[in-house]
Amino acid sequence: MGSKTSSRIRRSSRSINARGGRIVKRFFLPFLVLFAFISESSFAHLVHFTFVSEDYLFIPRFVLIFVIFITVYLNRTQGMVLGFFFGLLHDIVFIEVIGIYLFAYGILAYLIHKAMKALHGHILIVWLLIILSISVLEFYVYGVNYLIGVTNISLYKFTTLRLLPTLSLNLIAAILFSYPIKVYLTKLKLETTED
């Protein structure tokens, strides 16, 4: 009788551990993207490049990089949902106009998914899509801000002082974090397909 009871307890505890592990894995990815979101604002305030003029703006787009990696290596739905959510959060926290980043992140995730149907998932292609997506986002934000009168800088100044430094910073970030993110997301995809 005692061995049957202890066997049931062990099976029950394994079941609880498995469910708990799935819950942790399920919520770890949004927390990882939240960490990227917090890192964006911290990076912008704490990191200053002494070798360049203060006129150059290095805008981190770590959340968009994560959303693209999630869309490519996990699935479109999670990429779009996290894109919409963190785009809305970006709109609420950083700017006065709700909807600019909300739609941009989600739509870019959708377009990346469509592009990946025609392209190979090689890391160089993903880096190219990250650069393209950040360029589209920056031009979109610049255009909206120019239309509503928030900015009046010329296209030349925008390109040289903001776009090019932003692209270089984010390409370096994508290169540095691509391997660990790809390994984690590939492993997560395999685990979710097994469940």
Three-state SS at 31? helix
Higher pLDDT, 15 or 6: 6
Which three-class secondary structure state does DSSP give residue 104? helix
The 10s digit of each residue's pLDDT in 84-111 is 999 999 999 988 778 999 999 999 999 9
* Mean predicted confidence (pLDDT) in 129-139: 97
The model's confidence at residue 73, banded by pLDDT at 50, 70 and 90, is: very high
Residue 11 CA: distances (Å) to CA of 20, 41, 132: 14, 45, 50
Q: How confident is the model at residue 41 (pLDDT cuts 50, 70, 90)?
A: confident
Residue from 6, 8, 10, 29 nearest 18 by CA: 10
Domains and CATH numbers, the chain: 32-194 (1.10.1760)
Band the pLDDT of 137: cuts 50, 70, 90.
very high
pTM as predicted? 0.86
More confident residue, 168 or 13: 168
Q: How many angstroms separate the Cα of 39 from the Cα of each of 44, 107, 126?
A: 8, 23, 22
Question: What is the pLDDT averaged over residues 115-139?
Answer: 94
Mean pLDDT of the chain: 87
pLDDT of residue 19: 54
